[in-house]
Chains A and B, each alone.
Chain A
Amino acid sequence: MLKSGRILFVNTDSVQAEAKIQPELSDSIGGLAQAVALSSLYPQARFIFSLGPLTGFIPFCSFGCGYYFIESSWQSCYWGGLFPSALKMAGYDALVLSGESSGSFNLGISSQTVRFGADLVGDIFPQERYSSHMTYTGSQFVIDGRMVLSSKPAYALKKIGISRIFIQGDACVPVSDGEELCLIIEDLLGKTRLLATLPGQNHSCFLCPAGCEQADSVFSRHTSPLGSCLVACPLAQPIFNDNGLVFSCLRALGYSYNHDQITRVEKFVSSYL
């Protein structure tokens, strides 16, 4: 069962980290809606990285939603690669960062530990299936050595005092219906023609065979309310417009949302898009 609502809170002022289970957040489905709910519950938060229920398990859903406080308002961005899947496989549904430190913290996250330290280099092992890193290079944040975070979220992160985040997704994650999941994956892979992009030779996001030209992009906005909660790739919106398919994916992973819940959340996030 994946419906854990396990959130990792990190504060750079007190140099403390705490993981909390917050099942009440599960009503928000995930992504942008979950980030908005977290920002209300924790007004001291400054950067929230929120995952969707399908993140890391379903092709074209390997994105995460960055929700950050800048210039007296909250703004959002979306990125994929391996970072969101690594966080999910470390057993978290969101990462909430707060604090305003003049220091420069490197943050190492795994399922059991969170490490801080300016001198924490923490080699990233690309051979690990679910590891990822985001590093400040002096002028910008680079994710997995290739994807550049845009300037506003980068500024918000830097203001918190974060220089590097590396994640080791080392938890053993149970899957409710693996057989069904295999069938869904095969079905989805047959729909790549519906992607609003053409296959390329870039490194792809986790579970996406496209390797498209936009694979290195951070998207500044999402146009679909449900897509922003599932945190599906914005280029895969035509695929996830199929509600039947979305319910199949959710069911295979053990989620039991009904149509009314999804409609309610869609209405809720519409005003934030």
Chain B
Amino acid sequence: MLVAGAIGKCIGCRLCSFYAGLLSQNLAGLNCSCVRIDYHADVDSFTLAIDPGSSLGKKDFEKIVKLCPRQCLEIAS
């Protein structure tokens, strides 16, 4: 599973999950089950997780990370 972890600057705009939803649905729809956001109240941040079964590749992930206006994502694995 590819995971992008928030590193403390996240303000919860959820652009990353929206964008990942767009990309992983082959630009056909949103709310796909293969993208998930987990909220960590203890550190007030989000983790974006993409199911390995999704069509997203490394390039897509780099796009998502680049899109984050707060630059708070990184590719964790």
CB-based contact B11/A207 at 8 Å: no
Tell me the minimal C-beta distance from A245 to chain B in angstroms: 18
A126-B41, A201-B11, A207-B18 known, 19 other contacts, Cβ within 8 Å: A89-B30, A126-B39, A129-B21, A129-B35, A129-B37, A172-B31, A173-B29, A175-B22, A175-B27, A182-B19, A185-B15, A189-B67, A203-B11, A204-B13, A206-B14, A206-B18, A209-B11, A209-B13, A209-B70
**Given A173-B30, A182-B22, A129 contacting B14 (CB threshold 8 A):** yes
Q: What residue in chain A is nearest B47 (Cβ atoms)?
A: A127
Instruction: Please count how many residues in chain B sit with their CB below 8 Å of the partner chain's CB atoms.
Output: 27
Do most interface residues of chain A lie in helix, strand or loop, or is the interface mixed? loop
- Is A43 on the interface with B (CB-CB < 8 A)? no
Tell me the minimal C-beta distance from B64 to chain A in angstroms: 11
Binding site for A on B (CB under 8 A): 11-15, 17-19, 21-23, 25, 27-32, 35-39, 41, 67, 69-70
- Is A242 on the interface with B (CB-CB < 8 A)? no
CA distance A105 to B7 in the complex (A): 39
Closest 7 CB pairs of A and B: A178-B27, A209-B69, A211-B11, A126-B39, A204-B13, A127-B38, A204-B11
- Is A174 on the interface with B (CB-CB < 8 A)? yes
CB-based contact A89/B31 at 8 Å: yes
Binding site for B on A (CB under 8 A): 59, 82, 89, 126-130, 169-175, 177-179, 181-182, 185-186, 189, 192, 201-209, 211
Tell me the minimal C-beta distance from A22 to chain B in angstroms: 23
**Given A173-B31, A175-B28, A209 contacting B38 (CB threshold 8 A):** no
Task: Name the B residues within 8 Å of A59 (CB-CB).
Answer: 15
